Amino acid sequence: MNYARWIPILIRDMESLPSSIRQEFEDNGHWLVKKTTNQFSAMPIDQAHEQNNELVKGSGGAVGLTENPSAFRKWIVAGPEQARLMEIIYKVVNKQQHHEESYSTQKTFKEQANTLVHTICEMGNPFLDVTSELLALDTRNVIDESVVVRTVETLGTEQYQAHHKSVIKDCTSSIHEPIKKNSLSLFKRPTPKTKNKQAGQIAMLKHDVELFSRLYIVMQHREGDMNTFFEHENHPYPPLSDRGKLRPGKKSDLLSILVHIEVEEGKQEPPAWFDVKILDGAAIVHLLPTTNVDTFDEYSNTVFIPHIKKHLHTSKRVDVVWDAYITSSIKESTREKRGKGIRRKVAGRTKIPGNWPDFLRNSVNKQELFTFLSGKIKLTEYE
């Protein structure tokens, strides 16, 4: 039986309760009972009934009681008293205690609490971060915007109201009709597969062959000019575009041109001393290794800053320039084709991601990283 279908019926029954009973539940909080004096041992009334029923039933259960009215009435009358007596016997014989008060449970709780404190001390207190993003405590990976954590309550309320209206009020649907399962994006979900470019090109070529075949047959039966026929495009996109998107170039294509110019003008050795050096910060971040560092603080102090100081040995001044990520720029479309990596909050104690190129595919990651490194450059003392 699908109990979720009967939730509207339960809520309707709860809403139909007399005001005195509703006041006991809502205002006075009398919907819990305590079977023992142990702390944190209160439970809902229906759960207490189920536990008492279990004591009365025993290992064999209550098979056959519901079919015998006389035996069923005796069980209803004597059942609670039997459960009370058996509870007293268990306390005297076993000295029963709450399962969370046992030594093993307390030991596990202590270890987990110490692990949590150690993680917060090592990676920083996440509750002090002023951000609207939802992130994991251990990895500080930011949850993707497609995850419906913030809207799941609204979605559930809307679906419940629609189900309540169709089943209870309007009676247009049966309560036994299946409820459609929601396919929601959760925290741990498989990475969506990107469409294969080659498969798209093959599908387009097949469509072209079919279109040309039909049009060519039509032109054979009608008096038409074949030259005029082939003057018109049959694609929805311009021929020079990549399925409607701008074809990107590669910076490596410029190397052959630069080498050719260098050969013609004569190769010259670079000077040993410079007045000023202008470094591309984004290129340096892609260039420097991250294999021997664990956190962003270590990356800045042992990898990035020493690289900047190295250039100061051969120049009077070093300027680091960072990229600007404009949403409506042509470069942004190129970044979209590269894919979107995992979003991770950049902080000093945050661990460096294992897949560094995948981390740098996310524009927000790079913006935070550039801001973080700029602050480190400003705070560093140079001799």
> Is 204 within the bounds of a domain?
no
Rounded-to-integer distance, Cα 304 and Cα 319, Å = 14
- Tell which wins on pLDDT, 256 or 65: 256
> Is 246 within the bounds of a domain?
no
> Is 137 within the bounds of a domain?
no
User: What pLDDT shows up at residue 278?
Assistant: 92
305, with CB counted inside 10 A (0-12, 13-18, 19+), is middle
Report the percentage of the chain scoring pLDDT > 70. 78
Q: Is the pLDDT of residue 138 over 90?
A: no
| Residue where a domain terminates, one of 93, 122, 151 | 122
> Pairing between strand 42-44 and 32-34?
antiparallel
- Tell which wins on pLDDT, 70 or 110: 110
Q: Region 212-232: what's the mean pLDDT? A: 74
User: What pLDDT shows up at residue 58?
Assistant: 58
User: What pLDDT shows up at residue 246?
Assistant: 66
Q: Region 99-120: what's the mean pLDDT? A: 86
Q: Region 259-273: what's the mean pLDDT? A: 70
Q: Residue 101: which of 38, 172, 143, 195 has the closest Cα? A: 38
Amino acid at 100: E
What would the pLDDT profile of 362-371 be if each residue is shown by its tens digit? 888 888 999 9
Phi, psi (deg, nearest 5) at residue 271: -65, 160
What would the pLDDT profile of 26-42 be if each residue is shown by its tens digit? 777 788 888 777 777 78
User: What pLDDT shows up at residue 375?
Assistant: 92
> Is 259 within the bounds of a domain?
no
Phi, psi (deg, nearest 5) at residue 30: -90, 55
> Is 294 within the bounds of a domain?
yes
Q: To the nearest 5 percent, what fractions of the chain are helix, strand and coil?
A: 55, 5, 40
Q: Would you state the structure tokens that stand for residue 101, as one six-digit string?
A: 């008060």
- Tell which wins on pLDDT, 376 or 127: 376
* Number of domains within the chain: 2
> Is 330 within the bounds of a domain?
yes
Q: Is the pLDDT of residue 61 over 60?
A: no
Residue-by-residue DSSP string for 103-138: HHHHHHHHHHHHHHHHHHHHH--GGG---S--B-TT
> Is 269 within the bounds of a domain?
no
- Tell which wins on pLDDT, 329 or 287: 287
| Residue where a domain terminates, one of 92, 122, 152 | 122
Please give the residue range of the domain that contains residue 286: 274-379
pLDDT classification of 299: cutoffs 50, 70, 90: very high
Q: Region 272-297: what's the mean pLDDT? A: 90
Q: Would you state the structure tokens that stand for residue 36, as one six-digit string?
A: 């023992």
Q: 44: which strand partners?
A: 32
Q: Is the pLDDT of residue 59 over 60?
A: no
Q: Is the pLDDT of residue 171 over 60?
A: yes
> Is 143 within the bounds of a domain?
no
- pTM, entire model: 0.57
User: What pLDDT shows up at residue 307?
Assistant: 92
Rounded-to-integer distance, Cα 218 and Cα 359, Å = 54
| Residue where a domain terminates, one of 82, 102, 122 | 122
Report the percentage of the chain scoring pLDDT > 90. 13
Q: Region 92-115: what's the mean pLDDT? A: 80
